Chain A
Amino acid sequence: MIGKKEKQPLPPKPKDQMPHVKLNMTYKEWMHRHEGRHTWRNRRWAFVIFINLLFVVSFTFDLAVLEGSLNGSRLIGFYLMDPYVSLELATISLRTHYWHNVTMNMIIGIITILTFYFLMGGRTFCSWVCPYHFIAEWAEKLHKYLVKKRKIKEHHFNRGLRYVFWVGFLILALVTKRLIFQEINPVGIVSRALIYGPGLILLWILALITFEIVYSQRFWCRYVCPIGTTWSIVGKLSPVTIKFEYEKCGHCRKCQDVCLVPHVLWFVVKGRATQAQHYVGSDCIKCGYCVDICPGDALNFSIKGLSKIV
């Protein structure tokens, strides 16, 4: 990592300090302790369905609760704007000077949503709101199953690619004077398809999902989606995060098996953690799978700095 000093990892724990020994359990027993616990997953799925249903219901029954779509919406009269589409529009405005026409509502909407997701952890959006993520989560399960059965091979790309796409789509917008990314943006497409009815464009979503199932795990979310990248940047200094306590960890790596962005949990590997406490990076989508599965309860939702205040 650039500009980061390599810290010395903590010394390995003596056997009597391992969490399973403290609980008088065998390692195997201990490891499977919380299998089947889905508290956070159930909360999250309920929330994703709730928020997207709220959009649908607001349109179908003409309620002024949550109107619009995930590109831009109005929550009981307060505007919420997707920051990346706003950024695209701002980029095109460099050439056309359109930006001074946009309404105050839009500016307020951008500030509101940036503040909200800064507080809530940036990519929290992905797992708690994004309808494409919800579909892709199921596709990912199928993909993992097929890989396990050796029906297909896994293909990885470099995660840094999403920054190339992030800049690339902005440049593309600037050159073509069109919101090119919005033509293929699965977040907006799925959101609108749910609310305003399906269209031919869903074939693109089908193609994308198929690609993710048979070729590369979570291709769009991991390597392309500039919306997720934006939230990742916004969430860099966010207070809401997942806290890791070294003392409670038994290095079983069950969390990494269930994690949707496993690289954020690098510190659970034996001999990697450098501090008694670690916070996950901003790529974490706060899905809570690791919190549910961790047999030692070493991973938990936490608010940075809260202990200092209280």
Chain B
Amino acid sequence: MADPRDKLNRREFLKQSAWVAGGLVVSAVGLPFLIESHAIEPKVGELLRPPGSIEEDEFIYACIKCGLCVQICPVHAIKLADVDEGLGYATPYINAREQACDFSCDSIQCAETCPTAALNFKIFRNASTKKAEELQPLVEKGELDPMESWRLQIHAMKEATRIGVAKVNDQTCLAYQGKGFKGTPRGKDFKGVLRYEKISERKPQPVREQYFDREICDLCVIHCPIGETAIKMVEKELPDGRKTKVPEVERGCTGCGTCEMICPTEPASIVVLPQKTYEEVYS
């Protein structure tokens, strides 16, 4: 061809191909070995994936690292992992302590936008349809306002999320010590936002602008976007005989991490265990 240096020589090709093939074979044998032995993925399996995420061993290839979920999240909760997260590079995760998903978007947009269904929207569509069918007779009879039915459908979608489960550390939790909380959780420099519907129905508000005065600290409970099916305050007697109330995680916990984000102690006294189920943690 035109440039004599630009070889299309058969022997050259076979020789170089052999090198490439050799390299690929080494990777094909070596990589599964490293993956199995967990030598190169210290953090995969410990990352909190966005709502709708499928099982981690499927997620790791179903996610094509496009970043559409990152883009659509109104509170910027979703980040892409860097290389130090092992082979999970550029897959999305949520650092709940910095910015949790509090379902501000209402429609679980990250899952809706995911083209490969690594974040599977079917879960949410099914939940919403099921709820709609359940409520339809009530709406027809005029016993339920259609707007209220719509709200319940959205709530059913949120409830269908299972990305982890919260766990309270009873050693450091303020409520377990019978203590209250007064002030702004996480301080004045904290950048996170959450939806406070009393202030604005749609727009998430900075946490640093909020002020709380609770007799017994129950910030995790009052911030939970799911409600008392996920976490509630229960009576508890302290070792010294005083009665107090402490947060208790229920089966409805979605693992969204809003509680972890708002917890005023440092480090957080309630944390989400990613990719775990309620049964795995509490039985």
Considering the complex, give the chain B residue whose CB is closest to the CB of A256. Answer: B2
Q: Give the total of A residues in contact with B, Cβ under 8 Å.
A: 64
CB distance from B261 to the nearest CB of A (A): 21
Please report which residues of chain B, range 127-178, place their CB below 8 angstroms from some CB of chain A when the two chains form the complex: none
Report if A67 contacts B (CB, 8 A). Answer: yes
CB distance from B115 to the nearest CB of A (A): 4
Known: A161-B16, A175-B32. A71 touches B82 (CB 8 A): no
Q: Scan A182-213; emit 1 where CB is below 8 A from any B CB, else 0.
A: 11000011001001100111001000000000
Q: Is the Cβ of B24 less than 8 Å from the Cβ of A172?
A: yes
CB distance from B102 to the nearest CB of A (A): 18
CB distance from B280 to the nearest CB of A (A): 24
Q: Is the Cβ of B116 less than 8 Å from the Cβ of A106?
A: yes
CB distance from B116 to the nearest CB of A (A): 5
Q: Scan A61-83; emit 1 where CB is below 8 A from any B CB, else 0.
A: 00000011101111000010110
Known: A58-B71, A192-B67. A182 touches B13 (CB 8 A): no
Classify the interface of chain A: helix, strand, loop or mixed: helix
Interface size class of B (residues with CB under 8 A): 35 or more
Report if B266 contacts A (CB, 8 A). Answer: no
Q: Is the Cβ of B2 less than 8 Å from the Cβ of A158?
A: no
What chain B residues lie within 8 Å of A42 (beta carbons)?
A: none
Q: Contact partner of A89 among B8, B20, B61, B89, CB < 8 A?
A: B61
Q: Scan A131-170; emit 1 where CB is below 8 A from any B CB, else 0.
A: 0000000000000000000000010111111001100110
Report if A279 contacts B (CB, 8 A). Answer: no
Q: Is the Cβ of A159 less than 8 Å from the Cβ of B6?
A: yes
User: With A and B bound together, what is the CA distance between A175 and B29 in angstroms?
Assistant: 8
Q: Scan B41-63; emit 1 where CB is below 8 A from any A CB, else 0.
A: 00000000000001001101110
User: With A and B bound together, what is the CA distance between A19 and B3 in angstroms?
Assistant: 24
Q: Is the Cβ of B28 less than 8 Å from the Cβ of A156?
A: no
Report if B216 contacts A (CB, 8 A). Answer: no
Q: Is the Cβ of A156 less than 8 Å from the Cβ of B5?
A: yes
Q: Is the Cβ of B6 less than 8 Å from the Cβ of A256?
A: no
CB distance from B211 to the nearest CB of A (A): 28
Q: Is the Cβ of B57 less than 8 Å from the Cβ of A67?
A: no
Report if B65 contacts A (CB, 8 A). Answer: yes
Listed in ascending order, the chain A residues whose CB lies under 8 Å from chain B are: 58-59, 67-69, 71-74, 79, 81-82, 85-86, 88-89, 92, 96, 98, 101-103, 105-106, 109, 154, 156-161, 164-165, 168-169, 171-173, 175-180, 182-183, 188-189, 192, 195-196, 199-201, 204, 256, 262-263, 265-266, 268-269, 272
Listed in ascending order, the chain B residues whose CB lies under 8 Å from chain A are: 1-3, 5-9, 12-13, 16-17, 20-21, 24, 27-28, 31-32, 35, 54, 57-58, 60-62, 64-68, 70-72, 79-80, 82-84, 87, 89-90, 113-117, 120-121
